[in-house]
Amino acid sequence: MSGIPTGAGGRIPVSVLTGFLGSGKTTVLNHLVRSPGMARALVIINEFGAVGLDHDMVARSNEDLMVEMMGGCLCCTIRGDLLRTLRDAPWRFARDGRCWFDRVVIETTGLADPAPILHTLMTDPHLETLYRLDAVIATVDAATGMATFDTQPEAVKQAAVADRLLLTKTDLVDEAGQGAIRGRLAALNPAAPVITVTDGAVDPSLLFDVGLWDPASKSDDVRRWLAEEAHHAEHHHHHHHDVNRHDDGIRATCLTFDTPLDPLAFERWLGLLTMFRGADVLRVKGIVNLSGHDVPVIVHGVQHVFHPPVELERWPSEDRRTRMVFITRRIDPEELRGTLALMTMGLSDVQFEGLVERVAADMPG
């Protein structure tokens, strides 16, 4: 096939957009894909859990712009699904027999350890002929970043390997708080510029074509993580994950509603959940069909904080169901089911996708 770049100078640049749950990756991506410079970019989104949402939340100028990968944590699928997607992309998404894209952006799940991604992009012999790693871009939540770094090793790795750090939600933090998170980032990754991002808006020229990613310039910790990943690759062992589990404490619960939700009942349900278990609700995002609304409502939440709901201009597809993903720590799905049953007794068709459970069957009366 013609149109495939060859040689070191013609390889397709790959940017990895990472960052912990709720730090604003999808919002940033939404702005980037609208910019003229992204017209020839292939976007690959990895979802954590059994129900995909990000592909519906990201604006797109054409149907070929985006590839969605589901099935679990990227640390396990990197040598499978993602590798095959990148390997086959120039042919699979060809237009008139030619590779149409000249840039790739990979948005990782918020729970992804970035080391396997980087190691694969740098060492796989086939990918090396097609792509070059341009930069790692990490979003950091100014409001929750300090606590996240204290408890989530993946978040530390994401920030440490980045070439660009995007500091989001600074409007929620005072000067002292911003100074603290900036100081921590400076200690963690002194070479990476910290760029303040408001509502996801950022100049693409600050993020792309910033040069080949060089692990030798990063901290000793980053080199250690990459070395560990190389060791694991050489001593590969097969293992299986529940696609809704990341580790023993964190899991994704996917809820689907065929019936439009009562707005007040839905608000009360989320209020109770965050009131009693907010610290363990790492991330909530969903496309919600509310009674009385002709268009879907997007909800985003991180722990106790929920962003104001935003109405889309139209439904992104013919699917009109409410679809929500809860990524939680030490919350049994039965707890979600209990509060759901309490606040939405009128619903008759509620599913826990991936869990093969139906709440309606257990409702009294």
Amino acid 229: pLDDT: 56
Amino acid 149: pLDDT: 92
Amino acid 223: pLDDT: 59
H/E element holding 167? strand 164-168
Amino acid 228: pLDDT: 56
Q: Distance (Å, rounded) from C-alpha 208 to C-alpha 13?
A: 9
Q: Distance (Å, rounded) from C-alpha 85 to C-alpha 90?
A: 9
Amino acid 138: pLDDT: 96
Tens of pLDDT along the chain (365 residues)?
A: 334 443 345 789 999 999 998 899 989 998 998 888 888 888 888 655 444 455 555 544 444 455 655 444 444 444 567 788 888 888 887 888 888 888 999 988 888 877 777 777 777 888 888 998 888 899 999 999 999 999 888 898 888 888 899 999 999 999 999 999 999 998 888 778 999 999 999 999 899 887 655 556 666 665 555 565 555 555 544 444 454 444 446 666 777 788 888 888 888 888 888 888 887 887 787 888 999 999 988 887 767 777 678 788 888 778 888 888 787 778 887 777 666 656 765 544 444 443 333 333 343 44
Give rounded-to-5 percent helix, strand, coil for the chain: 40, 25, 40
Q: What is the DSSP string of 298-364?
A: EEEEETTEEPPPEE-SS-SSS---EEEEEEEES--HHHHHHHHHHH-TT---EEEETTTEEGGGGS-
Tell me whether strands 357-358 and 297-302 are parallel, antiparallel or unpaired. unpaired
Amino acid 72: pLDDT: 44
Amino acid 185: pLDDT: 92
Amino acid 299: pLDDT: 85
Residues paired with residue 105 on neighbouring β-strands, in sequence order:
15, 43
One-letter amino acid of 174: D
One-letter amino acid of 360: A
